[in-house]
Structure 1
Amino acid sequence: MSSGAAVTATGSRRWVGLFFISLGVALIIVDSTIVNVAIPSIISDLGIDSTQAQWVQEIYTLIFASLLLMWGRLADQWGRRRLFVIGVLVFMVASLLAARSADGNLLILARALQGVGGAMMLPTSLSLLNAGFRGRDRGIAFGIWGATIGGTAALGPLLGGWLTTSFSWRWAFGINLPLGVAVVIGLLLLVPESKDDDADRGLDWIGALLSAVGFGGVVFGLIEGRNLGWWRAKDDLSFFGAGWPWRISPVVVAFVLGVAALAVFVAFERGRNRRHRVAMLDLSLFGIRSFRNGNIAAAIVSLGEFGIIFALPLWFQNVAGYSAFQTGLALLPLAAGSFVASGLGAALGQRRGAIFVVRVGILLELVGVAGLGIFIRPDSTWLTTSPLLFVYGIGVGFATAQLTGVVLADVPLARSGQGSGTQSTARQVGSALGIAILGTVLFASLGSRLDDTLTGFAQLGAEQRTALVAAVKDSAGSIIPSLNADPRTAPIGAAAETAFSDATRYSALTAAAFLLIGLLASRSLGSGRAKSIKGEASPDGYGVGAISRSEE
């Protein structure tokens, strides 16, 4: 396929093909959350320590975020369907290794390999949609893609809780095998290949390495800051048995390395662009107003979006007393709202424009998250949270899909892999930053509130109070049910429940503040009314290739 052209399937084949693309996306999104509820069983079965358990959860996100840009670029050269299929196969092999893991280190390695496969798939899925759909159908396709992202993020805990409780934690990975086979067959039969035949051959390996190190360092620092120390290393810090030799935190080292690598990456790519050599990133894309401002808005919105998913499952299980499966059920309204929005968003976008839908979506997210920050109490139930999560889910479905359409609206089809990879990376970095900030708010306020309350317990000395606060924080609240079970410590458990509920509310209100910033940032996207540079309107309202742009 030559630059700027698209190969599209016809009739119902496109929509069935979209189902299999969305199923592949669902696999990688679910796997970012499914392990959270399976980790206690993994610890018990494999006998891994807390450091290994942490890496089982976080290595996937770290590898995933660091490679998105690279694979998005290579998809344009190698073929988007081909790379997506390779990504699914890598993901399946990694899932088999994870399901068969006999120790923690092998499971960590398998999770890292899953991150490689997932990074191949996510930006490539957007490129396939951008190449395969036109007109009104493109808005609907992006809506389904966005609903998949938002909905399956909430389905992960439900699926993980059911599989772990009813079968084994190994099935949380094993289920990816039959689903992966279905995705591969569906893509090969129903989704046409597309790539940029006019692109220069060759690979920018230095650019790929710099981008991976840069984004990997930044995301590592954001994920691990609370655990390893933002500035000074925590006492007796070690990695897989090897002690950390310096007093300064490894988070600082990671940030410095990551930012320096990204600075060199930009300078290096600018030089390659200027000399018209093959580059990992065409920096001229940031001269496109919708692309530049859309990525900024996407990062800010992601910061407020999925950070709250970090806090809520902990509150449901440790304060409300729900099981892992019940927690998944309690989060279902979020998924339901996101899927409802997939159809409504496309229709509304046709009438009012994509950017209007983005703003409505962010506003609904803001209402839902702020409501959680106002109404959550220790005695709250799913009846309190469900309506708010449903509203929030509709907002996610609106904003995620339509903002993606805005970001890619004016990106030439030949460079849609680069555009998709950049957009996915912006979202992942924003999400990691959100989890870092909201996690810090959650645990800092938990410790402060609980310490203030326990000061009034005359029977507790200063050392006992400090130890109890540390135990609640370090266990992420999982010690609360055992405190409640013992009549002697039940008052302390009640105090911890109140403190954890307050901390969850503060975390939600912080997320709402970032969503408000994202709503304000969406003003930079313009009116959302597409117009042609040559005076010819875009048929889909999003723009096609480099023909149209957002109105200034």
Structure 2
Amino acid sequence: MASSSRRWVGLVFISIAVSLIIVDSTIVNVAIPSIVDELGITSTEVQWVQESYTLVFASLLLVFGSLADRLGRRRMMLTGVVIFAVASVAAALAPTGGLLILSRLIQGVGGAMILPTTLSLINATFRGRERGIAFAVWGSTIGGMAALGPLLGGWLTTAFSWRWAFGINIPLGLIILVGVSLTVAESRGERTQRIDVVGAVLSVVTMASLVFGLIEGRTYGWWLTETRPQVGEWEWPWDLSPVPIAFLIALVGLAAFILWGLRRERAGKSTLLAFRLFTIASFRNGNIAAMVVSLGEFGIILALPLWLQFVLGLDALQTGLVLLALAGGSFVASGVAGALANRAAPVWIVRVGLLAEVVGVAGIAFMIGPESSPLVLLPFLFVYGLGVGLATAQLTGVVLADVPVAESGQASGTQSTSRQLGAALGVAVLGTVLFSSTAGLLDAKLADRGVPDDQREQTVSAVVDSAGGAIAGLAASPQTADFADDAKAAFSEGTRAAAFTAAGFLALGLLSTLSLGSAASTPRGGRPEAVADGAAAAPSA
């Protein structure tokens, strides 16, 4: 094992590696409105810019976690950093929305290689109390980078271009490659079983179909075809929309994934998800909580930057400063959660965090309006961020509280996947709520003005397809200035609806923690060292 000082220096570079993922996500959120302006992408493509990354990331987490155990964790992480950096170059140079989405897909592959291996490397490098300190440092680094991301993204986008929001990943990637190579020792697990390729394919098909249906339903029609999809010269020939077919494929794929996994488990073979562990109440309910919480947390971050810039007229840097309150709350909470870990039961820390999230998001919803000042959002964003930090810091330990220590690796990989699936669904569901609500409300407002059907449809499509970017153009013309006011009001109500929906999901996540196991109700300071080590080891996939 490396010397003590070398191990701790290596921890810094490992933490920066996972922060690469966090920074990229927060920067992209702030840069989205500028991307809409320059590339002219539609609101559906806006969702796919977020979804394409998260979808691939969630689908491949367990696969790469298992491969890393066999091929080498440091090697897998460095490979992921290279892929992520190369894809970032492609994203920065993307001339169209389609190529940007493709670049984000490839980034998702790199990100899925990075996250599980950073945690596994920490688990393999540190022991006992040092391991707990190492995970605290890892979490605090993420909190700090999450705070830096929106501000850095806003500055880069405002002073230079949104393309630099992706270009910043290049120097970060180089720092990680050199630092990890010099300070982190290679490690491997004891897994010898083959990867469940069929399960991986089924999981990707299931998630892709589900997210496609949720995002494209308002475009192609939820049941009957409203707009026919086209691929080259081929056009969708049926009156039945492709959306219900996508949902059917997702349902069949989910059933096949479960049946296939149970069959492999009975045969003693490796599975992507630890199905047998779902008989443990705390693990089952904890994963439900993790998925639902992520659904509420990540979805609202799509809506706020669009509303702040296109309705309130903030630039990207000002938007980053507003969102800094959220990241600041999360950063503060990472330290508070660590201090409370040995004094309060983890499950109660999670519940307090989720309650703070509900209060924060609901408060944001109440404050949103076309004439609102962004300053009124700051306390609620801070409370929301505080809740995110408290809940996230302890949720892994709660999920694994009753899981046998020997199975904590696969169990932690399962809960990481639950979170990422929730994040993917959150962007899809809340994005659909935002844009569908905006379209319906704006159409009604223009109808009340007596606007002719053709002009009304054209205006609604322009606002929704541009994710709000067309509002400035409407406001610039005296003939459509009133339409712009209606659009701002409708987009504000759509954002409010998305925020209330997110608060509802977070409340469901809070309720799902009420049935967790007894071990989750015991402060870590009162638990045996073996169990504590198991909890600390949990994040390794």
Partner of 1:217: 209
Q: Percent identity?
A: 58
Partner of 1:23: 16
1:479 aligns with 2:464: no
Partner of 1:498: 489
Tell me if the contact between 2:143 and 2:334 (Cα under 8 Å) persists in the aligned partners: no
Partner of 2:87: 94
Per-residue CA deviations over 1:306-342 (Å, capped at 9, x if unaligned) read 2111111111011111012221221111111111111
1:469 aligns with 2:443: no
Provide the C-alpha distance between the structure 2 equivalents of 1:245 and 1:488, rounded to a whole number of angstroms.
Answer: 40
Provide the C-alpha distance between the structure 2 equivalents of 1:225 and 1:16, rounded to a whole number of angstroms.
Answer: 49
Tell me if the contact between 1:530 and 1:537 (Cα under 8 Å) persists in the aligned partners: yes
Tell me if the contact between 2:283 and 2:400 (Cα under 8 Å) persists in the aligned partners: yes
Partner of 2:117: 124
Counterpart amino acid of residue 261 in structure 2: E
Change (3 A) 1:249 1:84: farther
Q: How much does 1:521 deviate?
A: 0.7
Q: How much does 1:403 deviate?
A: 0.5
Count the aligned residue pairs.
536
Counterpart amino acid of residue 482 in structure 1: G
1:425 aligns with 2:404: no
- 53-62 or 109-118: which moved more? 53-62
1:175-190 matches, cutoff 5 A: 175-190=168-183
1:59 aligns with 2:49: no
Question: Which has more helix, going by share of residues?
Answer: 2
Provide the C-alpha distance between the structure 2 equivalents of 1:151 and 1:437, rounded to a whole number of angstroms.
Answer: 29
1:118-517 matches, cutoff 5 A: 118-133=111-126, 138=131, 141-143=134-136, 145=138, 156-197=149-190, 199-239=191-231, 242-409=234-401, 411=403, 415-458=407-450, 460-517=451-508
1:111 aligns with 2:104: yes
TM-score scaled to structure 1, two decimals?
0.86
Provide the C-alpha distance between the structure 1 equivalents of 2:310 and 2:221, rounded to a whole number of angstroms.
Answer: 25
Partner of 2:534: 544
Tell me if the contact between 2:333 and 2:387 (Cα under 8 Å) persists in the aligned partners: yes
Tell me if the contact between 2:349 and 2:394 (Cα under 8 Å) persists in the aligned partners: yes
Tell me if the contact between 2:32 and 2:306 (Cα under 8 Å) persists in the aligned partners: no
1:22-41 matches, cutoff 5 A: 22-38=15-31
Provide the C-alpha distance between the structure 2 equivalents of 1:185 and 1:411, rounded to a whole number of angstroms.
Answer: 37
Counterpart amino acid of residue 474 in structure 1: D
Q: How much does 1:127 deviate?
A: 3.0
Provide the C-alpha distance between the structure 2 equivalents of 1:371 and 1:153, rounded to a whole number of angstroms.
Answer: 22
Change (3 A) 1:277 1:449: closer
Partner of 2:509: 518
Q: How much does 1:210 deviate?
A: 2.3
Q: How much does 1:351 deviate?
A: 0.7
Counterpart amino acid of residue 438 in structure 2: L
Tell me if the contact between 1:362 and 1:518 (Cα under 8 Å) persists in the aligned partners: yes
SS state at 1:165 partner: helix
Counterpart amino acid of residue 459 in structure 2: L
Per-residue CA deviations over 1:224-281 (Å, capped at 9, x if unaligned) read 4444433334414224675334333333333322332232222222222222234444
Provide the C-alpha distance between the structure 2 equivalents of 1:138 and 1:217, rounded to a whole number of angstroms.
Answer: 40
Unaligned runs of 5+ in 1: 1-6
SS state at 2:18 partner: helix
Provide the C-alpha distance between the structure 1 equivalents of 2:245 and 2:29, rounded to a whole number of angstroms.
Answer: 27
Provide the C-alpha distance between the structure 1 equivalents of 2:144 and 2:536, rounded to a whole number of angstroms.
Answer: 31
Counterpart amino acid of residue 388 in structure 1: F
Counterpart amino acid of residue 377 in structure 1: G
Provide the C-alpha distance between the structure 1 equivalents of 2:342 and 2:398, rounded to a whole number of angstroms.
Answer: 13
Q: How much does 1:402 deviate?
A: 0.9
Unaligned runs of 5+ in 2: none
Tell me if the contact between 1:139 and 1:405 (Cα under 8 Å) persists in the aligned partners: no
Change (3 A) 1:25 1:259: farther
Counterpart amino acid of residue 181 in structure 2: L
TM-score scaled to structure 2, two decimals?
0.87
Provide the C-alpha distance between the structure 2 equivalents of 1:469 and 1:158, rounded to a whole number of angstroms.
Answer: 32
Per-residue CA deviations over 1:428-451 (Å, capped at 9, x if unaligned) read 221222223322322333233333
Q: How much does 1:31 deviate?
A: 2.9
Provide the C-alpha distance between the structure 1 equivalents of 2:432 and 2:173, rounded to a whole number of angstroms.
Answer: 36
Counterpart amino acid of residue 392 in structure 1: Y
Provide the C-alpha distance between the structure 1 equivalents of 2:522 and 2:166, rounded to a whole number of angstroms.
Answer: 44
Change (3 A) 1:358 1:227: farther
Change (3 A) 1:322 1:60: same
Q: How much does 1:36 deviate?
A: 4.9
Q: How much does 1:118 deviate?
A: 0.8
